[in-house]
């Protein structure tokens, strides 16, 4: 008697939960999401993750493409696709993202002393395409071109209190800006979604100018440093530092933004924004627990500040954030985890659910 074939949904669940795919085979996961916020009401979405080794060779670094799309009951929508792709022998490294969204953002003002008062709900259509085309120079050093295209259109500032006058920021009518430049990078990580040992450092410079069709002329320099050190067999100590520095006249949407799901978790992304940003964080990861092979946890803390000029920095501008989270091992053979983090700040807390670590 022929064996009855299992329903696709059952086979899909087993393939994901029990990770029955060989380690060298590509793997794809898609799942629905539900969220709620005062600005969006009910939000329905779908997330997807694709991971692979170039030519199925596990000596190559793990490449990943992840995406997220959403639609809200207030007719708002958006999507983002991020990727970190390595070629065979890790000779080429393509790192970038594409993002579009018709989605409100809360504007608190500019500067380290911006009060915790919502000045305006900014509605706009945003599009960004950022890409790094890097080639191995020697060993783990890469270098190459970078470009960043950002468009902000159909902008509308809806002030929460019309009697509270403030000067609208540069770029409040919308703009399109294209930056080109170069970057150098050192990377000896093997799995970018969950690094257990390694070092990553990037320095990039981008120029946005009228020669490329940009509305505003300015330059930006970025630095990103990440260090990972194993503690015993399961645990990892991770340290992260970032800097963004602007010169010229950047529009408000391209200022350095503090907060979000990656660094300074617990602060709303853009709660503080200014021409320059310095931030750092440390995280201790227990992956997995000794008593539960698919469950783990982390604790983290960070500090950072934004500023216009360094001479204007004061001690009370320094912000602190911290928290903890749980982890679930999604792909056992590829060591990819789902995280749920709860972060706390002096202004409240934030909850984050993502595939892969914050950095």
Q: What is the mean pLDDT of residues 234-250?
A: 97
Better-scored residue on pLDDT, 337 or 224: 224
Q: What is the mean pLDDT of residues 79-88?
A: 94
H-helix or E-strand spanning residue 12: helix 8-17
H-helix or E-strand spanning residue 201: strand 198-208
Task: Indicate the DSSP class of residue 54.
Answer: G
Q: What is the pLDDT of residues 110-129, one digit of tens each?
A: 999 999 999 999 999 999 99
Q: What is the mean pLDDT of residues 150-172?
A: 94
Binning the chain into helix, strand and coil, the percentages to the nearest 5 are 10, 60, 35
State the residue for tokens 């809806």.
158
Residue 181 belongs to some domain of the structure: no
SS3 161: coil
**pLDDT of the residue at 105:** 85
| Domains of the chain: total | 1
Rounded distance between C-alpha atoms, residue 193 and residue 337, angstroms: 8
**pLDDT of the residue at 205:** 98
Q: Using alpha carbons, select from 23, 91, 21, 93 the residue that is nearest to residue 57.
A: 23
Residue 3 belongs to some domain of the structure: no
Better-scored residue on pLDDT, 45 or 207: 207
Residue 178 belongs to some domain of the structure: no
**pLDDT of the residue at 192:** 83
Rounded distance between C-alpha atoms, residue 305 and residue 313, angstroms: 9
Q: How confident is the model at residue 333 (pLDDT cuts 50, 70, 90)?
A: confident
**pLDDT of the residue at 207:** 98
Residue 283 belongs to some domain of the structure: yes
Residue 179 belongs to some domain of the structure: no
The range of the structural domain enclosing residue 331 comes to: 8-166+188-355
Sign of the four-CA dihedral 14, 15, 17, 23: positive
Bond prior to 288 in cis (omega within 30° of 0): yes
Q: Beta strand pairing status for 105-107 and 141-159?
A: unpaired
Better-scored residue on pLDDT, 269 or 133: 133
Residue 198 belongs to some domain of the structure: yes
**pLDDT of the residue at 170:** 97
**pLDDT of the residue at 21:** 64
Q: What is the mean pLDDT of residues 53-57?
A: 92
Residue 112 belongs to some domain of the structure: yes
Express as a percent the part of the chain with pLDDT over 70.
92
CATH of the domain at 56: 2.40.160.50
Q: Using alpha carbons, select from 162, 156, 163, 72 the residue that is nearest to residue 121.
A: 156
Residue 177 belongs to some domain of the structure: no
């Amino acid at each position: 008697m022929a064996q009855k074939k299992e329903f696709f949904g059952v086979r899909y669940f087993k393939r994901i939960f029990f990770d029955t795919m060989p380690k060298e085979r590509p793997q794809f996961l898609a799942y629905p999401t539900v969220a709620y916020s005062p600005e969006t009401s009910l939000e329905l979405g779908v997330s997807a993750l694709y991971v692979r080794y170039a030519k199925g060779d596990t000596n190559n670094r793990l490449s990943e493409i992840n995406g997220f799309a959403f639609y809200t009951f207030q007719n708002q929508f958006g999507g983002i696709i991020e990727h970190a792709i390595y070629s065979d022998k890790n000779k080429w490294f393509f790192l970038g993202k594409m993002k579009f969204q018709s989605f409100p953002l809360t504007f608190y003002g500019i500067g380290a002393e911006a009060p915790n008062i919502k000045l305006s709900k900014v509605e706009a259509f945003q599009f960004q395409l950022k890409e790094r085309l890097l080639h191995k120079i020697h060993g783990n050093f890469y270098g190459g071109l970078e470009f960043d295209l950002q468009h902000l259109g159909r902008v509308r500032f809806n002030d929460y209190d019309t009697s509270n006058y403030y000067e609208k920021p540069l770029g409040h009518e919308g703009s399109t800006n294209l930056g080109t430049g170069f970057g150098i990078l050192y990377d000896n990580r093997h799995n970018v979604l969950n690094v257990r040992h390694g070092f990553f450092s990037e320095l990039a410079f981008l120029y946005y100018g009228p020669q490329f069709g940009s509305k505003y002329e300015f330059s930006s320099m970025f630095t990103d440093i990440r260090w990972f050190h194993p503690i015993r067999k399961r645990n990892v100590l991770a340290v992260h530092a970032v800097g963004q520095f602007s010169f010229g006249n950047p529009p408000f949407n391209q200022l350095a933004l503090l907060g979000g799901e990656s660094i300074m978790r617990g602060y709303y992304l853009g709660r503080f924004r200014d021409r320059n940003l310095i931030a750092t964080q440390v995280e201790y990861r227990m992956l997995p627990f000794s008593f539960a092979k698919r469950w783990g946890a982390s604790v983290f803390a960070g500090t950072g500040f934004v500023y216009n000029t360094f001479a204007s920095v004061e001690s009370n501008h320094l912000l602190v954030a911290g928290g903890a989270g749980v982890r679930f091992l999604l792909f056992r053979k590829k060591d990819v985890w789902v995280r749920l983090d709860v972060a706390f700040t002096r202004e409240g807390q934030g909850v984050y659910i993502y595939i892969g670590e914050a950095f």
